[in-house]
Chains A and B, each alone.
Chain A
Amino acid sequence: MSTRLDEPPAGVAPSAPPAGDRARLVRRHRLSRWDVKLSPYLYISPFFIVFGLVGLFPLVYTGYLSVHDWERLYYQRGEFIGLENYRFVLTDPVFQKSLVNTFSIFLMSSVPQVIVAVAVAALLDSQLRGRTFWRMSVLLPFVVAPTAAVLIFGSLFADKYGVINAMLEGVGLEPIRWHVDRWWSHFAIAGMVNWRWTGYNALIFLAAMQAVPRDLYESASLDGAGRVRQFFSVTLPMIRPTTIFVIVTSTIGGLQIFTEPRLFDDTPQREGGPDHQYMTSTLYIYVKGIEDQFYGRASAAAVVLFLIIVGIALLNFVITRRITRRQA
């Protein structure tokens, strides 16, 4: 184990001063003790102070706002109204719709993304020539801001002049109304998300795959397991902790999707389509809270979404853990 520093080491004043300077020595010793005791707290305090102010406090305040009315005319907090905002939000058809949309887009993006990312990682996990080149190429979309990505994909998926519709018509199919049809709009939005994040997740999986001991493959190979069999019986079980990590982080991120549905909308309202057919819950919070200034309702929606995210993250974790244990 490591030795740590809760006591100043014995030789704190290396050149021992002559007797008579004892008082100074004691003072120095005491100062050094305080230095050792206080420094850790000083070092962590910038993080905790700033995080408390701009991270934790707003979260707590969200809960507080969610049980209060809001005087929009006077820009003031109104009276305590208990769960009224929650009742409003949970019975609001628009919010319900936004939840369904959020889940739909989330599933359409995270499921194929994880599968493709694992596959790409498996391809990268071999003795490639030009490894760095391949890894960087796979990461390329990650440096494109979601804003720019939506604009680019928005033109690809344009209803009238889009390339994708042009191609569909080219092979004799009906064009798809990407901005109108609810599920197709989710498909288009999920496409942008997948485009940006698949390579990123592939690199995370790749790191996990490279940590798998190579002799496991050797013995599997001696047992007559082919490449594919090795992948399913050795690689996949070994990278399970990483899979949990990727699924949990992509849940937290995926359920908060905002930029894509906001900018994909080419109508002036920009509330996730004329019929809210791709409004997500985060977009709902923005529209209700910032644009319409229903601070209480927006906060209630935020708390609901927060609980859902935490719940699903936990569920992911428990399920994946259980599967791991059963197999182990």
Chain B
Amino acid sequence: MNRRPGFIVYGLLAAFVIGSALPLYWSFVIGSHTKEEANQIPPPVIPGGHFIDNARRVLDTTEFWSAMLNSVLVSTACALSVAFVSTLAGYAFAKLRFRGSNVLMGFVVMTMAVPTQLAIVPLFILMRDYGLLDTLVAVALPTMVTAFGVFFMRQYLVDAVPDELIEAARMDGCTMIRIFWTVAVPAARPAMSILFLFTFMMVWTDYMWPLVALQETQTLQIALDRLALTGQGQTTDYALVLAGAGMATVPLLILFALSGRQLVAGIMQGAVKG
């Protein structure tokens, strides 16, 4: 059946997309005006020329660069770890037979539904007892592995690696770990990069756990949190705050521009198979 969309479909979609983009546009509008201009009634609706000034003020009031570096470090570490650990476990669940595999996989699926966020108090106590509070290790640890990652990789690898290939490798006398590296990892690479992206974004945008685990050290979200607190009690300096919000968003926007296709594919794939 021919389902060529008409003008209405494009119009409705465009309206939705414009609506989605407006808040971002707005943050740039306010972020590029002076504090006084930003608080005018009615507010400005087109970008001004003071973004650089505001950006400088953001750098003066927060430890923006070190926070950015911390976010990059933590997100990269978690994303690498999740991608690798999930591939190992996902491969075992998808392709190897061992006692208890069904029960253990059932356990993994179940834990996907468990909100670990609720366990912040014991996690906090744990990190304090081990002297890890206020370190990046404490921020990264809870996300070094995820049940979703294992589930996702298993689903992917069931189809991506033909059993015959593994068998042929065994015939040639390959050890199990060698098969993993030479057969499973290359086949898993597309899914690994999607998992890497998702984990990176999840850790980058997380606010609650860094808020609990950190005191002096900052991630980007914590820096934004502190920025929002400056000048409290008076009129909020939205020019400053929104310039900061914009600056913190730019790295992810760049990542999105480079890999949005994969992100879209990842979401759609996860749903079809999940």
- A residues in contact (CB < 8 Å) with B: 2-6, 8-9, 11-14, 32, 35-37, 39-41, 43-44, 46-48, 50-51, 54-59, 61-62, 65, 120, 123-124, 126-128, 132, 134-141, 143-149, 151-156, 158, 160-161, 163, 166, 170, 195, 199-200, 203-208, 210-211, 214, 217-218, 221, 242, 245, 248, 252, 255-256, 258-259, 262-263, 266-268, 282, 285-286, 289-290, 295, 298-299, 302, 305-306, 309-310, 313
Residues of A within 8 Å of B248, CB to CB, are 145, 147-148
A195 close to B23 (CB less than 8 A): yes
Distance, CA A305 to CA B114, complexed state (A): 11
B253 close to A143 (CB less than 8 A): yes
Distance, CA A136 to CA B253, complexed state (A): 11
A155 close to B125 (CB less than 8 A): no
Distance, CA A152 to CA B245, complexed state (A): 8
Cβ-based interface call for B52 (8 A): no
Minimum C-beta distance from A36 to chain B (A)? 6
Interface SS of chain B: helix, strand, loop or mixed? helix
A50 close to B113 (CB less than 8 A): no
B1-13 vs A: 1/0 string, CB under 8 Å? 1011100011011
Minimum C-beta distance from A87 to chain B (A)? 18
Distance, CA A146 to CA B95, complexed state (A): 38
A127 close to B176 (CB less than 8 A): no
- B residues in contact (CB < 8 Å) with A: 1, 3-5, 9-10, 12-13, 16-17, 20-21, 23-24, 26-27, 30, 38-43, 85-86, 88-89, 91-93, 95-98, 101, 104, 108, 111, 113-126, 141-142, 144-145, 147, 150, 163, 166-167, 170-173, 175-177, 180, 201, 204-205, 207-208, 211-212, 220-221, 224-225, 228, 232-233, 235-236, 238, 241-242, 244-246, 248-249, 252-253, 255-256, 260-261, 263-264, 267-272, 274
Minimum C-beta distance from A200 to chain B (A)? 6
Minimum C-beta distance from A160 to chain B (A)? 7
From the candidates B86, B141, B176, B212, name the one contacting A36 in the complex (CB within 8 A). B176
From the candidates B111, B207, B212, name the one contacting A147 in the complex (CB within 8 A). B207
Minimum C-beta distance from A50 to chain B (A)? 4
A161 close to B39 (CB less than 8 A): yes
B97 close to A4 (CB less than 8 A): yes
B167 close to A252 (CB less than 8 A): no
Using A151-B241, A298-B121 as known contacts, list a sample of 13 further A-B pairs with CB atoms less than 8 Å apart, ordered by residue number in A: A35-B176, A37-B98, A46-B145, A55-B111, A55-B116, A56-B111, A58-B122, A59-B116, A59-B118, A134-B17, A144-B249, A152-B26, A161-B40
Minimum C-beta distance from A248 to chain B (A)? 7
A302 close to B173 (CB less than 8 A): no
A47 close to B89 (CB less than 8 A): yes
Answer whether A263 and B228 are a contact pair too, CB < 8 Å, given A44-B88, A139-B264, A155-B30. yes
B12 close to A123 (CB less than 8 A): yes
Answer whether A13 and B173 are a contact pair too, CB < 8 Å, given A143-B253, A153-B23. yes
Residues of A within 8 Å of B176, CB to CB, are 35-36, 39
Answer whether A141 and B122 are a contact pair too, CB < 8 Å, given A35-B175, A151-B224, A206-B268. no
Residues of A within 8 Å of B272, CB to CB, are 207-208, 211
A199 close to B23 (CB less than 8 A): no
Distance, CA A123 to CA B97, complexed state (A): 44
A137 close to B126 (CB less than 8 A): no
B13 close to A124 (CB less than 8 A): yes
Distance, CA A120 to CA B24, complexed state (A): 20
Give the residue name and chain of the B residue nearest to A167 (CB).
B42
Answer whether A310 and B113 are a contact pair too, CB < 8 Å, given A47-B86, A123-B13, A161-B39. yes
Minimum C-beta distance from B273 to chain A (A)? 9
B242 close to A155 (CB less than 8 A): yes
A50 close to B267 (CB less than 8 A): no
Answer whether A127 and B27 are a contact pair too, CB < 8 Å, given A62-B118, A208-B271, A306-B118. no
- What 6 A-B pairs are tightest by C-beta distance, nearest first? A58-B119, A207-B268, A145-B205, A39-B176, A61-B122, A40-B98
Minimum C-beta distance from A66 to chain B (A)? 9
Distance, CA A112 to CA B85, complexed state (A): 37
Distance, CA A137 to CA B104, complexed state (A): 39
B212 close to A286 (CB less than 8 A): yes
Residues of B within 8 Å of A143, CB to CB, are 201, 249, 252-253, 255-256
From the candidates A8, A151, A263, name the one contacting B170 in the complex (CB within 8 A). A8
Minimum C-beta distance from A5 to chain B (A)? 6
